[in-house]
Amino acid sequence: MNFEFVDNGSITTPSGFLASGVTAGFKRSGAPDFAMVVSEVPADFAGVFTSCTFAAAPVRVCRKRVKESDFLQAVIINSGNANACTGEQGLAASEKSCQIAADSLNIAPENVAVASTGRIGVQMNMELIERGVALARKALTGDGGNTAAQAIMTTDTVPKAAAVKVEVNGKTFNIGAITKGAGMIDPHLTTPHATMICIITTDAKISKPQLQKILQRNANDSFNRITIDGDMSTNDTVLILANGTSGTVIEPDTTEEDAFAQALLALMQNLAKRMVLDGEGASKFVEVKVINARTENDAKLAAEAVGNSLLCKTAWFGNDPNWGRVVAALGYSGAQFAAEKCDIFFGDIPVVKNGGDAGTPEEALLETVKQREFSITCDFHDGDAEYWVWASDLSYEYVKINADYHT
Amino acid sequence: MNFEFVDNGSITTPSGFLASGVTAGFKRSGAPDFAMVVSEVPADFAGVFTSCTFAAAPVRVCRKRVKESDFLQAVIINSGNANACTGEQGLAASEKSCQIAADSLNIAPENVAVASTGRIGVQMNMELIERGVALARKALTGDGGNTAAQAIMTTDTVPKAAAVKVEVNGKTFNIGAITKGAGMIDPHLTTPHATMICIITTDAKISKPQLQKILQRNANDSFNRITIDGDMSTNDTVLILANGTSGTVIEPDTTEEDAFAQALLALMQNLAKRMVLDGEGASKFVEVKVINARTENDAKLAAEAVGNSLLCKTAWFGNDPNWGRVVAALGYSGAQFAAEKCDIFFGDIPVVKNGGDAGTPEEALLETVKQREFSITCDFHDGDAEYWVWASDLSYEYVKINADYHT
């Protein structure tokens, strides 16, 4: 098993996929806001979605596709209107959007999926969908993946795309992805879910049940590990399409399937990390690890409490090695552990020993917390379970972006 | 039953209490940082405390007092050092502080309680305690309550004190309180707890078990309802001392006890509200009410999710009537409810009807969200349980205060 990241890779790196990104008019700025991804042949697929009670109309349509459709052949994505909390009219609009795209591509609407991101509570302007589909259909190309990545951005500052080329047992295939999401990002859920929009393509041949199982597991170890602001969206969507055009077949429970799952995880983690680095106003990337906990759930509660703590996040923003705030967050997390056995490290430097000050001078810690990326490890000495999350800091810029954001 | 707030009331409004606030030297600024409260006679007492696993040394000492001491006669409070995560040395320092105060007042150390707030992880400077006790002892007066309120401030911008005078069945008594706490404030707990430092005095005569029961219940309906940043402190402490000097006796299960509990609740809610208004960087006070929920826990999960949502808080700061963020927070809260039955109001104005846009023009909502205080009501039409929280917004200033705060 071997895989490598492809330079400038994206959803059009795997063979048999076309993509485009155009300006339909959803964004007042005139920036690209409509993307289309098309497989030249029917593709097996899977999806994981927000667990929010107010799931948006496009999410409800995607869930129906996962349940009822045998394959997908196209995905349309708009940014600028989430089509959430729009009732039956919104649901009809998402279905109609698929119909418009299907007609334009001469395929059936049940083989088209839709994702939306942007303002909640605004009905879709169907003229913009018509325009987006017409323009995007015309602009489809075999190297349009990065353009599509640009069109799905909202408060993201950089487009996020990647692809890996995998070799296993003499066979090759590719996996590519685009993603967006710089706010409303939080992993605090017990069921598999996704926290943003991510479209993944592969030219491997792999069945729907295999894809669903692997995608859910990988989402738990990538997108579900990141926290920017602790808010979960109504529209979180991760879709994967497998069109088989590489000729490589991935059978269940084989080394090929392991290779596929591992390469896909690397790709999803790569994008998850870049989402945190591009988090709204984020200036820091902090890996919070809890090790030697009694149970994975204790480790998870503890790591997520630190990763979501506003006091920790503002300290990181301020280059403040204030471990007291980490301790306070662990303490209220609900995790079961013995405070007097807890050690904490910033990078490799001990800051807390047996629940108290490890005696490291603050100056020695400053070098670590000034870095753009660093880790905080909490060792509970109380078992062998562990969990980690990736967190951003909280800056003035986050507040500015979200106090002013109206799409 | 009748009660009224007393002008400039504080912990020295009830008879038989002395207080003072002085500069011991914990704060670099030279501002007052040490307070003492003394009852002229032994006082019945009760306390509720943080449920943080890393409870600070003074909290551990107070818990011991509640368990082992028959009465209290003095409380000392320092700001500038939390004495948290300081191990056995820290615990000894808190006990020693009580001893120093007891010696100075010629009472027993088990009748002295201690509270601390400030930086976590720093050992107490006992010379400063000695100095604080000596100065505070000398400064004790029968109208020193407001000075004490100043001395316990950290990032608070205004001292917070209040008192009520109660008349019931021809008898009178007073209850007074001082409180601090503008950050590390969150009610997100299932067990009774407090979220800051609050010292309450009364000249009613009321037993320890009655006080404990009433204090816990009232804390749940006041301090446990407020959220500023979702972080809970290691040092949260609420203490009440009842010295009986008014001559009014409060027997269990009487109208007098009801009157006491209600007046105390009004006092605690008054201070809780002022804590939110003085929350770090706060410019808004928002009451989030969830009504007609299936269970109180569903209502609580939903109200707390909205009150803690960074996206809601930044929208409030930005005068943005973005109800989509409220909907998203309700949706991920874990509360069980039917999205399609949910109505939401900003003040009295409907914004969401049956889970979708109520059609109110944004301009009509702007007037509401521009106010310093407003309410958001979420009606689940799904039962008869309800819950409310009081939340602040999230501003640049919050980030600035917490990125820079080193005591």
pLDDT of residue B226: 86
pLDDT band at A369 (very low <50, low <70, confident <90, very high): very high
pLDDT of residue A182: 65
Tell me which residues of B are annotated as active site: 195
Structure token pair of residue B39: 């009852």
pLDDT tens digit string along B85-125?
888 999 999 999 999 999 999 999 999 999 999 888 889 99
Rounded to whole angstroms, the Cα distance separating B112 from B116 reads 14
DSSP code string of B275-309: HHHTSTT---EEEEEEEEESSHHHHHHHHHHHHH-
List CB contacts (< 8 A) between B333 and chain A.
53
DSSP code string of A299-338: HHHHHHHHHH-HHHHHHHHTT---HHHHHHHHHHS-----
pLDDT band at B328 (very low <50, low <70, confident <90, very high): confident
* B residues 345-364 lying closer than 8 A (beta carbon) to A: 352, 354-357
Please enumerate in sequence order all residues whose Cβ is within 8 A of that of B30, keeping only pairs 6 or more positions apart, or say none.
B23
Nearest to A326, CA basis, from A352, A350, A295, A291: A352
Please enumerate in sequence order all residues whose Cβ is within 8 A of that of B168, keeping only pairs 6 or more positions apart, or say none.
B1, B2, B255, B256, B259, B260
| Cβ pair B402:A310 closer than 8 A | yes
pLDDT tens digit string along B375-400?
999 999 999 999 999 999 988 888 88
Structure token pair of residue A254: 């084989």
Rounded to whole angstroms, the Cα distance separating A179 from A239 reads 10
pLDDT tens digit string along B143-191?
999 999 999 998 888 999 999 999 999 999 999 999 997 665 554 332 3
pLDDT of residue B192: 30
State the helix-helix crossing angle for B87-105 and B126-139, rounded to 10 degrees: 30
Q: For an interface test with A, which of B310, B330, B394 has the most A Cβ atoms less than 10 Å from its Cβ?
A: B310
Instruction: Give Cα separations from B296 to B269, B290, B304, B315 (angstroms).
Output: 20, 9, 12, 27
Rounded to whole angstroms, the Cα distance separating A278 from B32 reads 43
Arithmetic mean of pLDDT, B60-66? 96
DSSP β-ladder status, A349-353 and A343-346: antiparallel
pLDDT tens digit string along A83-113?
988 889 999 999 999 999 999 999 999 999 9
User: Which of A232, A332, A354 lies closest to B328 in CB terms?
Assistant: A232
Rounded to whole angstroms, the Cα distance separating B28 from B31 reads 8
| Cβ pair A186:B84 closer than 8 A | no
Rounded to whole angstroms, the Cα distance separating B214 from B206 reads 11
List CB contacts (< 8 A) between A55 and chain B.
331
State the helix-helix crossing angle for A296-308 and A323-332, rounded to 10 degrees: 130
Cβ atoms B99, B107 nearer than 8 A: no
| Cβ pair B356:A52 closer than 8 A | no
The model carries a pTM of 0.83
Total residue length of chain A: 407
pLDDT of residue B332: 85
Residue A315 in contact with partner chain B when CB distance is under 8 A: yes
CB-based burial of residue A123 (10 Å sphere; 0-12 exposed, 13-18 middle, 19+ buried)? Answer: middle
Arithmetic mean of pLDDT, A243-253? 97
Residue A380 in contact with partner chain B when CB distance is under 8 A: no
List CB contacts (< 8 A) between A230 and chain B.
230, 308-310
| Cβ pair A352:B121 closer than 8 A | yes
Lowest pLDDT segment from A162-171, B60-69, B193-202: B193-202
Taking all residues of chain B, what is their mean pLDDT, rounded to a whole number? 91
User: Which of B122, B357, B402 lies closest to A121 in CB terms?
Assistant: B357
Q: For an interface test with B, which of A51, A397, A399 has the most B Cβ atoms less than 10 Å from its Cβ?
A: A399
List CB contacts (< 8 A) between B87 and chain A.
340, 354-357
* B residues 164-203 lying closer than 8 A (beta carbon) to A: 183-184, 186, 188-189
What is the chain A residue with the closest CA to B122? A357
Rounded to whole angstroms, the Cα distance separating A74 from A239 reads 11
| Cβ pair B324:A398 closer than 8 A | no
Q: What percentage of chain B exceeds 70 in pLDDT?
A: 94
Rounded to whole angstroms, the Cα distance separating B334 from A333 reads 17
List CB contacts (< 8 A) between A403 and chain B.
314-315, 317-318, 320, 395
Count the Cβ atoms, other than its own, within 10 Å of residue A32.
26
* B residues 29-58 lying closer than 8 A (beta carbon) to A: 50-55
DSSP β-ladder status, A197-202 and A237-242: parallel
| Cβ pair B328:A355 closer than 8 A | no
What is the chain B residue with the closest CA to A90? B356
Residue B349, phi then psi, degrees to nearest 5: -90, 125
DSSP code string of B121-133: S----HHHHHHHH
Bridge partners, residue A114, by sequence: A76
* B residues 202-241 lying closer than 8 A (beta carbon) to A: 229-234
For the cut 90, the answer to whether the pLDDT of residue A402 exceeds it is no
Residue A293 in contact with partner chain B when CB distance is under 8 A: no
For the cut 50, the answer to whether the pLDDT of residue A194 exceeds it is no
pLDDT of residue B396: 83
Rounded to whole angstroms, the Cα distance separating A178 from A17 reads 13
Rounded to whole angstroms, the Cα distance separating B199 from B180 reads 9
| Cβ pair A122:B357 closer than 8 A | yes
pLDDT of residue A193: 32
List CB contacts (< 8 A) between A355 and chain B.
54, 85, 87
What does the DSSP 8-state code read for residue A141? Answer: B
List CB contacts (< 8 A) between B92 and chain A.
none
* B77 or B359, greater pLDDT: B77
Rounded to whole angstroms, the Cα distance separating A367 from B339 reads 48
Tell me which residues of A are annotated as active site: 195
For the cut 90, the answer to whether the pLDDT of residue A263 exceeds it is yes
Rounded to whole angstroms, the Cα distance separating B250 from B256 reads 6
